[in-house]
Structure 1
Amino acid sequence: MTVSRRTSLLVALVATFAPISWGWVASNSRIQRDAVVLRAKKNDNIGRRKLLETVVAGSAALVVPSVANAAVQRAVGGAEIDCREQGNCLEIGQLDGAVGWNWGGKDRCDASDPRCGPDGKLGDLPTGKPIPAVTSKITHVAEVVIDIGREESGVLHLGFYGEECPASVRQMLQFLTSGIATTSKLAFENGMGVKSSPVSLLQGGKIPDIVPGKVVDFGVPSQAAAYSRARGLRTAGDEFVPQPRPNVDDTKDDPFVRQHDVAGLITVPSKGIGYGGSGFESEDEAFESAFQIIADAVPALDKGKGRVIGQVIDEPSMAFLARLASIPTKKGIKGVVPGLNSGPPLPKVSIYDVTVKPVQ
């Protein structure tokens, strides 16, 4: 998509805050996509841009493909079902059935099917909740293009409260575009024997964790992996130095402008980007949970735990947020501890592109 075309789209979006026709295109059993395609081969950036430009020019509506004829397996493994009915899961060693860990059975739905829920069962297509009321002036709009697996893409349009939370929004915009650099540039530009790169969602950005129906996490799980992948290297090497967390004083004066009481709000850790997760992550993993978008009310993030700095601004984006929040996950902590629903998404979910435009 050309810069002028993208700029025109964002300006129109900012001026009206009306729903625009992006949405998401799901695919199961290679469903025919004869109307709109928001997905192209990853190794054909030019083709991808042209397809996106075609979508914008045509002002296409939200597309939900027909899946009536798709052959999809049931969700829960037969062994888990049988032992639950008989009440002997522990006796026969069916731990998944005993703790309610539905995912992982041989008979489960396809994780790439939009109807496949977090518990591995087929359900209805996810629908978006209402757009949050705008309670603070939106100063910047971001367009985030996200890939799910190999055959599905979608777009989130996000607005940020730059007047009320200036430091936090400034930090967020850096993370979304050029990257956060907390180490002196002189160390890397003057041959000090080390190498590094600003940490940015554009380089190695993923959705590393999902709390089904509640929270979608965004971040860079490993700076070293992102650095090496962007440069076509096997590893970052011993000379690589990750960016440290930003100074906590950078954003401490920003107020807590609203509670986490509706879907579609963007929240960052109260200490700022780089301070999410458990707090015990290494510097290389410090930005794994950089910010979150909530898909429902999450009161647990109130009382100083998270700071809302923006929101989703159109209906197609709310629908795509619901889709993201319904993606099946690896169960438990990093997919290791059973019995928990939250975890990394089963299909690979990555950030394809980010564009930011100030509101005039």
Structure 2
Amino acid sequence: MTGKAFQLRLVAAICLSVKLIAAWNLPSGQESSTNANRRCFLAQQLTCSSAATGLLFFPGHARATRAIGQAEDDCRAAGNCLEIGEIDGALGWKWGAENRCDATDPNCGAGGKEVILSIERVPDTMGYSITNLAEMSFTIGRTEYLTMKLGFYGNDAPEAVNEFLQFLSSRGLRTTSDLVFENGMGVESTPVSMARGGKLNVIVPNERLDFGVPLQSAAYARSKGMSKVTDDFLPQPRPKELKDVPVLRMHEVAGLVSVPAKGVGYGGSGFESDDECFESAFQITASAAPYMDKDRRVIGQLMDTESMATLARLVSLPTMKGFKGVIPGQNSGPPLIKVALTGVDIQKMS
């Protein structure tokens, strides 16, 4: 028997074993083809992991896949995850497997469990005039359409608001010389724009949303129908630091729009390349976040109950666990289901 044939038979055997064990533990009538397919996928992953690490996963360890993190929590409390083979528990992962709620379900939360959306009231303007509005449109998966209306305090933080509105617009934010765009200078470039390549990068469940343009090169390539940019592509560098952006209000309620104190492009560690420096361009609070007061500035807010409902929906979405979905043991990360920014409409208040 070839190695490939043996692997296929092993996968099939594990699928069958996991299915039989799960069916034994479920009440009659609750087994479904969807759950069976998910267990087969899990079996394939376990087979790959076994081959890579030399570990052997026995059917008795399938308990970790039949509860939403309960087996992992139990072994971590007892301190015996490795002894009983609960590798996910030892690493801090809580998968949930077939009992995890459907990510497209509005009641499916970041922990893989059903949640009840908590919609906060629209923030008070605190006396600040709203000079500009921006309406952002999103899709979740293929069937859910949402909008969010942002208002900005342009009279009280004019520099920060002006820069941010350029970044939001389809025209984009230019931070290099106009000569680059007018004469070419042997390079390819385009202004960086949230409306062109922007996305919801990170969800901190029930706390905040983090938006930006992860890679200018990738956004440019997609706009040109290319798989990747050429070596002549020149990303927009960070703009000049903004000086004395006023502290208009603290990050004390849900629905506040916040940008880096030094301006768009300064939301990361400072060590990002030009290509990725706009990844964390702005955030929207979903609860009080006083730790943001030090290096972030509130320049606007959500404007209506529909926007607050959209915020509640987005901030409760299931996430890929850990930093960018890689480091285990953390709840924050990119959305598990695709969230696409489909449009940004900007208008000036009369």
Tell me the TM-score normalized by structure 1. 0.75
Verify the 8 A CA contact 1:77 1:108 in the aligned structure 2. Answer: no
Secondary structure of 2:148 counterpart: strand
Verify the 8 A CA contact 2:180 2:189 in the aligned structure 1. Answer: no
Verify the 8 A CA contact 1:81 1:97 in the aligned structure 2. Answer: no
| Structure 2 residues not aligned, in runs of 5+ | 1-32, 39-63
Q: CA deviation at 1:92?
A: 3.1
Question: Partner residue of 1:315?
Answer: 305
CA distance in 1, matches of 2:144, 2:83: 42
Question: Partner residue of 2:71?
Answer: 82
CA distance in 2, matches of 1:114, 1:89: 33
Residue by residue over 1:78-132, the C-alpha shift from the partner in whole angstroms, topping out at 9 and shown as x without a partner, is 27533544533232342432455323634311112111110111222x1310111
Change (3 A) 1:326 1:194: same
Question: Partner residue of 2:255?
Answer: 264
Q: CA deviation at 1:212?
A: 0.5
Q: Does 1:231 align with 2:224?
A: yes
Question: Partner residue of 1:280?
Answer: 271
Higher relative contact order (CA closer than 8 Å, sequence separation 6+): 1
Question: Partner residue of 2:193?
Answer: 200
CA distance in 1, matches of 2:87, 2:66: 13
Verify the 8 A CA contact 1:72 1:110 in the aligned structure 2. Answer: no
Secondary structure of 1:330 counterpart: coil
Moved more, 204-213 or 185-194: 185-194
Question: Partner residue of 2:323?
Answer: 333
Name which of 111, 115, 134 aligns with 1:119.
111
Residue by residue over 1:189-210, the C-alpha shift from the partner in whole angstroms, topping out at 9 and shown as x without a partner, is 2131100110001101100111
Q: Does 1:324 align with 2:325?
A: no
Verify the 8 A CA contact 2:236 2:274 in the aligned structure 1. Answer: yes
Verify the 8 A CA contact 1:194 1:240 in the aligned structure 2. Answer: yes
Question: Partner residue of 1:147?
Answer: 139
Question: Partner residue of 1:159?
Answer: 151
Q: Does 1:356 align with 2:349?
A: no
Q: How many residues align?
A: 285
CA distance in 1, matches of 2:284, 2:73: 35
Verify the 8 A CA contact 2:286 2:315 in the aligned structure 1. Answer: yes
Verify the 8 A CA contact 1:72 1:109 in the aligned structure 2. Answer: no
Q: Does 1:306 align with 2:296?
A: yes
CA distance in 1, matches of 2:266, 2:180: 24
Question: Partner residue of 1:296?
Answer: 287
* One-letter amino acid of the structure 1 residue matched with residue 253 of structure 2: V
* One-letter amino acid of the structure 2 residue matched with residue 82 of structure 1: A
Verify the 8 A CA contact 1:268 1:307 in the aligned structure 2. Answer: yes
CA distance in 2, matches of 1:217, 1:129: 18
Moved more, 341-350 or 163-172: 341-350
Secondary structure of 2:201 counterpart: coil
Q: CA deviation at 1:279?
A: 2.3
CA distance in 2, matches of 1:84, 1:157: 40
CA distance in 2, matches of 1:262, 1:359: 24
Verify the 8 A CA contact 1:96 1:339 in the aligned structure 2. Answer: no
Change (3 A) 1:205 1:104: farther
- Report percent identity of matched pairs: 54
Change (3 A) 1:244 1:195: same
Secondary structure of 2:99 counterpart: coil
**Superposition CA RMSD, Å:** 2.0
Tell me the TM-score normalized by structure 2. 0.77
Question: Partner residue of 2:84?
Answer: 92
* One-letter amino acid of the structure 1 residue matched with residue 157 of structure 2: C
Verify the 8 A CA contact 1:268 1:290 in the aligned structure 2. Answer: yes
Pairs within 5 Å for 1:250-261: 251-261=242-252
Residue by residue over 1:207-263, the C-alpha shift from the partner in whole angstroms, topping out at 9 and shown as x without a partner, is 011100011011111100100101111111111010000100xx2122010000000
Residue by residue over 1:299-328, the C-alpha shift from the partner in whole angstroms, topping out at 9 and shown as x without a partner, is 10013x100000001011001101110111
Q: Does 1:101 align with 2:93?
A: yes
CA distance in 2, matches of 1:173, 1:97: 45
